[in-house]
């Protein structure tokens, strides 16, 4: 069971907001709990738009530089390869850049390394193949590259222009790429890097736009009617939590800005609309990468999800929605549906070494091929779920058998655990044990036993990137974010890494930090949750990191008709009827089948923590049970 903490809200402030913004008391209270305290802030939060929220691409450090080189490559007919990561963030970013550069006339292809055979990020062998076998002259990365110091040198030695778009935490040394677009760089870092490249060019080959860096007003007007330019005068980009797909969208948008003012390209209304529609793919990447749904991210997801269901969206997306049982026109596409239905299917392709097929699905114009691909990818997702269940069971047995339950962090390993599902297994274990988790796959006996690949996930309070950096003496390489990372080490160093990693977490957390917390938005009787109330709560969407779906509690609730839910071997979910003061509401809890027995005796009341939703089937209010206690 978890620690329940009820949010404290200034009731007078909430009441004032309700009156000034003409909101219900409940909605105003939920807004104040999220730091939205004024009428103007409430209007922006409840009605985010790309026009008002998305900043100009050239405010992103290095984005103008990357865009200049891409436009130069298009106009001079250079061969461009987009090199992306194999997760949904990388896949959608690759599709965004591919479609926009193709529309502009670029000679462009894409490449995504195999998660199983190559692993994350840029690889020397892949760069050599692209350059020497395919004649690629420009490589632009998506969602990777910021740690690729050696690979940048390889590209330079081969005469390949390396452009990096990424959002992972930069190290103390930046790769010597031609240009880097990254929300966490300072403007000086990005511009100094590009200046080093420009200084080596003949003066007559300098980009026109670079001759006067301050004269970009007309560029900003070329895609007028899409987004509003936000002026900014500081050293850093004001919002540094963009995902890789959004950084790619900014780069694509930047090329359009420059192309619309250049000699060789024209940006039509059709193209302008296509650029806006690409925000739908950026929304997929944003939700998938679990970045905070605030600021630009909130507007991208709120607006972008609408474009995924338009008749003009790709054949592959329509097929993906259909096989995920989403009925276009009958309901709005939510971040929850995207998280639990679309993203796992696309991710399954990358997890099982087939990410290139996911890109093909999203760009193909052949309906028969799209149908073939979506069915294959759906099958990969079923295989992924089976692998995940098997490894999760093995990992939980290891925790018990090796008495790891009391450790500050969990570092687990298994022979031939499928590398593609290590991250999702780590996430499941974090949810259950509420502590940082690292999961390694050991090679089979007789194989190369030197290197172990691992995936790590963390909890609030422990910056995973910093934790791994503190243990870097035992690692061959690592990279990632505060909450998720990948790493590789020598097998002989595993015990030392485990000890140091657990010590780091132990020193930087208290015992109380290892108990999962639930933040309750308020206590209400079950009778308070009508369809109208739930629809009002839905105005806070999209929900996700930084804007969690509200959690409520009700006391002295009785349970009736508790039973398992699901099909065949997947009957692992819980459902029951919950009643209080004559009001009865159905409740569900996923992957909590053990609660059928745990909640007995049913004649004794309990307290429940829950989210509320409208059932897709009955169209009545339904509870998603998060936790319970007596």
Q: Write down the domain spans for the chain.
A: 59-214+234-268, 309-383, 402-514, 518-629
What distance in Å separates the CA atoms of residue 91 and residue 84, rounded to the nearest whole number? 7
What distance in Å separates the CA atoms of residue 287 and residue 308, rounded to the nearest whole number? 13
Amino acid 449: pLDDT: 64
What distance in Å separates the CA atoms of residue 381 and residue 421, rounded to the nearest whole number? 11
The token duo for 140 is 């632009």
Q: Percent of the chain having pLDDT more than 90?
A: 77
Q: Which residue from 271, 223, 267 is spatially nearest to 54, judged by alpha carbons?
A: 223
- Domain 518-629 - what CATH class? mainly beta
Question: Mean pLDDT, to the nearest integer, of 236-247?
Answer: 96
User: pLDDT class for 202, splitting at 50, 70, 90?
Assistant: confident
Q: Going edge to edge, which strands form the sheet with 179-181?
A: 107-111, 79-84, 138-142, 161-165, 179-181
What distance in Å separates the CA atoms of residue 149 and residue 171, rounded to the nearest whole number? 10
Q: Please state the pTM of the whole predicted model.
A: 0.88
Secondary structure (DSSP) of 385-437: HHHHHHHHHHHHHHHHHTT-TTSSSEEEEEET--GGGHHHHHHHHHHHH-S-E
534-573 confidence digits (pLDDT tens): 999 999 999 998 899 999 999 999 999 999 998 766 678 9
Amino acid 480: pLDDT: 86
CATH topology of domain 402-514: Diaminopimelate Epimerase; Chain A, domain 1 (3.10.310)
573-602 confidence digits (pLDDT tens): 999 999 999 999 999 999 899 999 999 999
What distance in Å separates the CA atoms of residue 553 and residue 523, rounded to the nearest whole number? 5
User: pLDDT class for 153, splitting at 50, 70, 90?
Assistant: very high
Residue 560 pairs in a beta bridge with 577
Amino acid 460: pLDDT: 85
CATH topology of domain 59-214+234-268: inorganic pyrophosphatase (n-terminal core) (3.90.1640)
Q: Which residue from 35, 5, 3, 4 is spatially nearest to 17, judged by alpha carbons?
A: 35
The beta-strand segments (E) located in 443-598 are: 451-457, 475-480, 484-490, 517-520, 522-523, 552-565, 573-580, 583-589
339-348 confidence digits (pLDDT tens): 999 999 999 9
* CA atoms within a 13 Å half-sphere pointing along the CA-CB vector of 22: 1
Please say if the pLDDT value at position 471 is more than 50: yes
């Amino acid at each position: 069971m978890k620690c329940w903490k009820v949010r404290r809200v200034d009731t007078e402030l909430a009441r004032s907001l309700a009156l000034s913004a003409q909101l219900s008391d409940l909605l105003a209270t939920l807004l104040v709990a999220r730091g939205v305290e004024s009428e103007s802030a409430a209007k922006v939060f409840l009605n985010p738009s790309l026009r008002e929220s998305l900043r100009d691409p050239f405010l992103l450090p290095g984005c103008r530089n990357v865009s200049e080189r891409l436009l130069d490559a298009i106009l001079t007919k250079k061969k461009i390869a987009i090199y992306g990561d194999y997760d949904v963030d990388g896949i959608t970013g690759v599709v965004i850049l591919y479609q926009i550069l193709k529309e502009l006339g670029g000679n462009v292809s894409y490449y995504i390394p195999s998660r199983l055979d190559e692993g994350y990020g840029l690889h020397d062998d892949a760069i050599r193949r692209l350059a020497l076998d395919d004649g690629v002259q420009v490589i632009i990365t998506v969602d990777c590259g910021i740690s690729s110091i050696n690979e940048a040198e390889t590209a330079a030695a081969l005469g390949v222009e390396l452009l990096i778009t990424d959002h992972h935490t930069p190290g103390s040394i930046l790769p010597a790429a031609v240009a880097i677009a990254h929300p966490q760089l300072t403007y000086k870092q990005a511009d100094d890097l590009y200046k080093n490249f420009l200084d080596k060019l003949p003066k007559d080959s300098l980009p026109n736009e670079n001759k006067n860096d301050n004269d970009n007003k007309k560029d900003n007007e070329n895609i007028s009617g899409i987004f509003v330019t936000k002026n900014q005068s500081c050293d850093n980009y004001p919002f540094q939590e963009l995902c890789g797909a959004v950084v790619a969208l900014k780069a694509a948008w930047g090329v359009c800005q420059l192309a619309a003012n250049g000699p060789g390209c024209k940006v039509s209304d059709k193209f302008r609309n296509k650029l806006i529609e690409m925000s739908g793919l950026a929304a997929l990447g944003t939700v998938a990468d679990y970045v905070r749904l605030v600021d630009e991210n909130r507007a991208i997801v709120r607006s972008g999800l609408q474009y995924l269901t338009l008749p003009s969206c790709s054949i592959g997306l329509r097929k993906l929605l259909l096989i995920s049982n989403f009925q276009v026109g009958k309901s709005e596409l939510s971040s929850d549906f995207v998280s639990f239905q679309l993203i796992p299917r696309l991710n399954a392709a990358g997890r099982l070494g087939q990410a290139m097929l996911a890109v093909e699905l999203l760009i193909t114009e052949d309906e028969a091929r799209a149908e073939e691909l979506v069915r294959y990818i759906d099958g990969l997702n079923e295989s992924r779920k089976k692998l995940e269940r098997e490894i999760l069971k093995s990992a939980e047995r290891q925790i018990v058998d090796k008495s790891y339950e009391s450790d500050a962090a969990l570092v687990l390993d298994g022979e031939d655990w499928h590398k593609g599902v290590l991250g999702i297994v780590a996430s499941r274990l974090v949810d259950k044990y509420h502590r940082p988790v690292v999961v390694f796959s050991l090679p089979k006996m007789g194989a190369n036993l030197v290197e172990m690949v691992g995936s790590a996930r963390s909890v609030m309070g422990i910056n995973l990137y910093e934790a791994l950096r503190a243990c870097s003496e035992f690692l061959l390489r690592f990279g990632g974010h505060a909450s998720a990372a990948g790493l590789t080490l020598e097998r002989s160093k595993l015990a030392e890494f485990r000890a140091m990693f657990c010590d780091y977490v132990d020193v930087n957390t208290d015992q109380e930090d290892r108990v999962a917390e639930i933040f309750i938005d308020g206590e209400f009787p079950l009778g308070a949750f009508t369809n109208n109330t739930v629809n009002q709560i839905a105005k806070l969407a999209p929900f996700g990191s930084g804007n969690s779906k509200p959690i409520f509690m009700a006391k002295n609730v009785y349970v009736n008709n508790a039973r398992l839910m699901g099909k065949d071997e997947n009957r692992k979910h819980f459902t029951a009827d919950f009643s209080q003061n004559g009001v009865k509401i159905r409740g569900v809890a996923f992957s909590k089948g053990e609660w059928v027995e745990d909640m007995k005796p049913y004649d004794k009341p309990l307290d429940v923590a829950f989210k509320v939703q409208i059932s897709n089937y009955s169209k009545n209010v339904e509870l998603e049970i998060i936790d319970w206690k007596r």
